[in-house]
A and B are shown apart, each in its own frame.
Chain A
């Protein structure tokens, strides 16, 4: 069965600093990977996805993620964080059949001035 690990529960960064959120997955075949963001009191919004091809994928709001098969990782990055990026971020992997997706436990990002 597939699984997703987000080792950091909380991360605090200063506004303008760079950000990297870690995600490791476990899945036998080529994975379909996603990053979602959840602002306080809201549902989840897709930031970016990886299905195949270029291992560096660009998403919305200036985010990018790099797929590294050798490390089973799909880390999310942003070069300069804005206060509005404070939210919870979820990494997810899609399994076979019926469009099922397994989510990680989330990383809560706090941005300080």
Chain B
């Protein structure tokens, strides 16, 4: 079974802190994604990566950055956390190739910024 793990299920941080959210997948997938999920807004793509050291902005990249130094690991960084970044953060991974492949999701990290 594909497994996507996220470093924390719940996280509480203070405004202005630097926050790291870690995601690891064990299926050698090329693509990895970070989403945030908010009530009534569904999932919105923050960043994705299609290869090591490669990244692309999603729909809402402002206030976030990412790092992918190894194929299995994709980190989301909040340089200076703000209260409007309080949200559920979901990581996903997928294969690449002709056609489209399902995304496998981690359990999510619920981040609260106070």
A110 to chain B, nearest CB (A): 15
Are A32 and B106 in contact, with the CB atoms below 8 A? no
The answer for the CA separation of A58 and B103 in the assembled complex, in Å, is 18
What residue in chain B is nearest A32 (Cβ atoms)? Answer: B100
Q: Is B48 part of the contact surface with A, judged by Cβ < 8 Å?
A: yes
Q: Is A101 part of the contact surface with B, judged by Cβ < 8 Å?
A: yes
Are B100 and A99 in contact, with the CB atoms below 8 A? yes
Are B40 and A99 in contact, with the CB atoms below 8 A? no
What residue in chain B is nearest A51 (Cβ atoms)? Answer: B99
Contacts A9-B40, A43-B4 given; indicate if A100 touches B45 (C-beta within 8 A). yes
The answer for the CA separation of A41 and B94 in the assembled complex, in Å, is 22
Contacts A99-B31, A105-B40 given; indicate if A46 touches B50 (C-beta within 8 A). no
Are A42 and B107 in contact, with the CB atoms below 8 A? yes
Known: A94-B100, A99-B103. 15 other contacts (CB 8 A): A36-B105, A41-B107, A41-B108, A42-B107, A43-B4, A44-B90, A44-B92, A46-B104, A90-B42, A90-B43, A98-B31, A98-B48, A101-B45, A101-B103, A104-B42
Q: Is A74 part of the contact surface with B, judged by Cβ < 8 Å?
A: no
Instruction: Give the interface of B toward A (CB within 8 A).
Output: 4, 31, 35, 40-45, 48, 50, 56, 58, 90, 92, 94-96, 99-108
Instruction: Give the interface of A toward B (CB within 8 A).
Output: 9, 32, 34, 36, 41-46, 49, 51, 90, 94, 98-106
B102 to chain A, nearest CB (A): 5
The answer for the CA separation of A102 and B50 in the assembled complex, in Å, is 17
A76 to chain B, nearest CB (A): 15
Interface-centre pick from B95, B101, B102, B105 (highest chain A CB count, 10 A): B102
The answer for the CA separation of A88 and B42 in the assembled complex, in Å, is 10
Question: Which A residues are CB-close (under 8 A) to B4?
Answer: 43
The answer for the CA separation of A105 and B45 in the assembled complex, in Å, is 13
Are A99 and B43 in contact, with the CB atoms below 8 A? no
What residue in chain A is nearest B43 (Cβ atoms)? Answer: A103
Are B56 and A103 in contact, with the CB atoms below 8 A? no
Contacts A43-B90, A90-B43, A106-B42 given; indicate if A99 touches B96 (C-beta within 8 A). yes
What residue in chain B is nearest A96 (Cβ atoms)? Answer: B100
